[in-house]
Structure 1
Amino acid sequence: MVEKGEAAAAPRSPLVRKKFWSSDMEAVFGITLVLLVLGTVNVFSSSFVSAELRFDDAYFFLKRHLISMSLGLVLFFIGARADYHIWRKLMPWVLALTVLALVAVFFIGPEVNGARRWLPLPFMQVQPAEGAKLVAIMLASASMAARVRHKARVSPFNLQYACILVMAALVEKEPDMGTACVIIGVPIILYLVAAQLPLRRLLAVLAALAAGAAFFIMSQTYRIERVRIMWDPWQDAQNAGYQIVQSLSTIGSGEFLGMGLGVGVSKYDYLPEAHTDFAFAIFCQENGYLGALFVFLLYTALAVYGARIADKASDRYGQLLAFGIVVLVVGQAICNMLMVGGVFPVVGVPLPFISYGGSSLIFTLLSVGILVSIGRIGEVARRDRARAREEAEARENAPRPHIGLRVVRGQETSSGGRS
């Protein structure tokens, strides 16, 4: 029986269920934390053998990974709390700094395996190409959003895309074709999304892109060899196909449940780049197909919640920027998994959060922080619009004061006045 002065609780509908996440932003943040934990464990497990042999310190790569993760988390919270529109205002300075860093690697960057990709800093080495990926998405989003807003012809032939092409060319010169393809590829996807081309023009653009990719592959002998060996790596298992063969053997040896954390044997100098490009193979060996499926589902969930944030963004710039970030993070994950599985040629694309790589981790966390900012501001805008509608409806439905008129001796007077 309900006591006097207490309101009876409304019965809860069986169709109303409590959500696991309170918002899309919380989901993205939670998934990111889980991936960070898995990645940190995997970085140590896949690198401690190499670190002990090369640096006499089993924790060498883990300590640097933790430094990068700490810096990345700081940038994540800065990106999440700041209004994402500020990046469009700062774009000239950010672009100039990025291009300057990409040029500087050719003069002061150390040469590693015939490539110059890093800038030496007092406490770490930074790879400017990783930052160029995010800068390219910001440029493309601002360019496409402005043209859609002003109802102008959507075209990639503009100054912003020319700057993106310059960054991609500098990265290709390092050489790093995989990263260069990401820098130019995601902005092209954003153009296709914004332009909404008819099928005929879309096929023409895709054909042109395929021709361009074929040209750059044919320009280097080792790239041709990587594509050729992908179809049958066992024909040259001790040379060109060695990485793919070892990767497939590593994945297969994990079976369904894996060998156990830290027990994987392929990191004992069998699988090259075991803690970087092929870190996922070690993860599969130690955690099995079940662990691999769990990681795949995490990236799938990240794509779904990221797409929801993009769909609910407060403006076209936010929509394109959020979509580009989702394509960047999840797209790289797909490419790396296909590469490790022998379905894609070997390219220098890391698995976000799981592979060792300081610059990649730092800029990926900043990107996800900006994605959270887009969702946060979009949610505030939706609440403001809903509140404005409620206030407008309340004003429209509010009772109006009634003024009655009566006739007294031939005169009209209000019912509230003196007769």
Structure 2
Amino acid sequence: MSKLSRLWRSSTEAVICITLLLFLIGTVNIFSASFVEAGQTVGDGYYYLKRHIMTFGIGIIAMMMMSRIDYHRLNRLLGPLMLVTVCLLIAVHFVGVQVNGARRWLNLGFQFQPSELAKLTGLMITAVHLGPLIDRKRRITLLSVPFYIAIILGVMVLKQPDMGTAVIIVGVCLILYILAGLPKQQVFILLGLGASLFVYATFAAAYRAERIAAWINPWAYQQGIGYQTVQGLLAIGSGGFWGTGFGMGSSKFHYLPEAHTDFAFAVLCQEMGFVGAFVVLSLIALLAFYGGKIALKAPDGLGKMLAMGSIVLVSGQAVINIAMVSGLLPVVGVPLPFISFGGTSLIVNLTAIGILLNVGRQADRALPQGPVIESDPSRDIRLKKARQARNLNRIK
């Protein structure tokens, strides 16, 4: 068996390779999508590229740390992590940096987005609660503390306002409950309540209702709120099969807003074409596949929940972003993991990958070492008769 085939048979090594490939593609795409704006706003076309690489260094350190710490000890971090998350979310409302009418960032010498940390906090609290229940085969119910915590975090993020991130925080929690074995009756009730809350949250603010209308028919609002969606679709369509070439896309020349952040996938499609989009989609699908393999072989319920939560967080954001850019979902401001520019998002996603690797490595250690010799019934019968014959000869 070749080294490459052995590599891809190992889920943990495959996850590392896929993550690095996505980062490399994202780095190239971020530079291409941002150098025009960076050159005109800060006078340095490499500004966003340098920040992206620096943030990646921090994220790699976080990933390595999380992959080495025994995930059974994570419950010791939950109290301080929850306290820090809530304090940062409160601070955003008072001293947060306001951009485009929203307060989502804190200026700590660098731009930090507490709502990204809330995604990880909600995931870990839910997994630590559900893991032991799965091992003991206890009944799973939504009437528990992690669900209420996820709701509180989601409401705090919704107030920023950031509906997309709030949906992810609550959504990851609910998906873990369903995967853990939530009763069907509660699932149906949950779907009904979720639909009702979505309708209420959508029409409670005028700008969200306008986004829904622009999503249904973006061309009717192309001079206003639908402009970004229309420009994203035009960028995707103009890429064709092979794309216009690296750096040759026109959308980043102030045609497509947020070209290097939320709509980075549109720039990728324009410059790398269908081929580039297919590669990214395939890598995300492979990441989910190998993450699922790690979850299935996890040694306990906590490992399963952490692995599934990590992969749902990363791949779920990817699905939402690509659907948003393609016009299949309203614009909700969710970045594409490893492809979109966003320092806090990159660090949190790499930390989630570190948790996934942690579970995978402990699962590998729990497997029996050495080759497994399968039992041959006919061989066992022959050996038994031979032993009996030897014993009879000794008696004689």
TM > 0.5 between the two?
yes
Question: Which residue among 304, 326, 329 is the counterpart of 1:319?
Answer: 304
The corresponding residue for 1:8 is: none
- Residues 159/201 of structure 1: CA separation in 2 closer, same or farther (3 Å cut): closer
Amino acid paired to 2:294: I
Higher helix share: 2
The alignment partner of 1:343 has SS state of coil
Amino acid paired to 1:310: A
Residue 147 (str. 1) matches residue 133 (str. 2):
yes
- Residues 18/237 of structure 1: CA separation in 2 closer, same or farther (3 Å cut): closer
Contact 1:139 1:161 in 2 (8 A): no
The corresponding residue for 2:89 is: 102
Question: Which residue among 281, 287, 290 is the counterpart of 2:275?
Answer: 290
The corresponding residue for 1:239 is: 224
Amino acid paired to 1:338: A
The corresponding residue for 2:33 is: 46
Distance 1:186 1:384 in 2: 35
| Deviation (angstroms), 1:86 | 2.0
| Deviation (angstroms), 1:107 | 2.3
Identity %: 44
| Deviation (angstroms), 1:80 | 1.4
The corresponding residue for 1:126 is: 112
Amino acid paired to 1:19: R
Distance 1:382 1:196 in 2: 29
Amino acid paired to 1:69: F
Distance 1:302 1:148 in 2: 25
| Deviation (angstroms), 1:382 | 1.4
| Deviation (angstroms), 1:386 | 8.6
Q: Spell out the pairing of 1:264-283 with structure 2 (5 A cutoff).
A: 264-283=249-268
- Residues 386/98 of structure 1: CA separation in 2 closer, same or farther (3 Å cut): farther
| Deviation (angstroms), 1:196 | 4.4
Q: Deviations over 1:375-418 (max 9, x none)?
A: 0001101136999x99xxxxxx9xx9xxx9xxxxxxxxxx9xxx
The alignment partner of 1:21 has SS state of helix
Q: Deviations over 1:261-289 (max 9, x none)?
A: 01101100000000000000000000001
Greater shift, 353-362 or 71-80, is seen at 71-80
- Residues 127/52 of structure 1: CA separation in 2 closer, same or farther (3 Å cut): same
- Residues 386/374 of structure 1: CA separation in 2 closer, same or farther (3 Å cut): farther
Amino acid paired to 1:175: P
The alignment partner of 2:8 has SS state of coil
Distance 1:162 1:238 in 2: 41
Contact 2:231 2:256 in 1 (8 A): yes
The corresponding residue for 2:242 is: 257
Greater shift, 156-165 or 180-189, is seen at 156-165
Question: Which residue among 171, 174, 199 is the counterpart of 1:188?
Answer: 174
Residue 337 (str. 1) matches residue 322 (str. 2):
yes
Distance 1:142 1:386 in 2: 34
The alignment partner of 1:118 has SS state of strand
Question: Which residue among 158, 164, 178 is the counterpart of 2:150?
Answer: 164
Distance 1:242 1:76 in 2: 37
> TM-score when scaled to structure 2?
0.91
What number of residue pairs does the alignment pair up? Answer: 382
The corresponding residue for 1:380 is: 365
| Deviation (angstroms), 1:75 | 0.7
| Structure exhibiting the larger radius of gyration computed from Cα positions | 1
Distance 2:189 2:312 in 1: 22
CA RMSD of aligned residues (A): 2.5
Give unpaired runs (5+ residues) of structure 2: 376-382
The corresponding residue for 1:28 is: 15
Residue 219 (str. 1) matches residue 218 (str. 2):
no
The alignment partner of 2:298 has SS state of coil
The corresponding residue for 1:4 is: none
Question: Which residue among 18, 43, 47 is the counterpart of 1:60?
Answer: 47
Contact 1:25 1:376 in 2 (8 A): yes
Residue 72 (str. 1) matches residue 59 (str. 2):
yes
| Deviation (angstroms), 1:118 | 1.2
Distance 1:240 1:247 in 2: 13
Greater shift, 368-377 or 155-164, is seen at 155-164
| Deviation (angstroms), 1:151 | 3.6
Residue 210 (str. 1) matches residue 195 (str. 2):
yes
Distance 2:29 2:5 in 1: 33
Distance 2:303 2:341 in 1: 30
Q: Deviations over 1:167-221 (max 9, x none)?
A: 11111111111101100111001111112433x5433321221111111111111
| Deviation (angstroms), 1:153 | 2.5
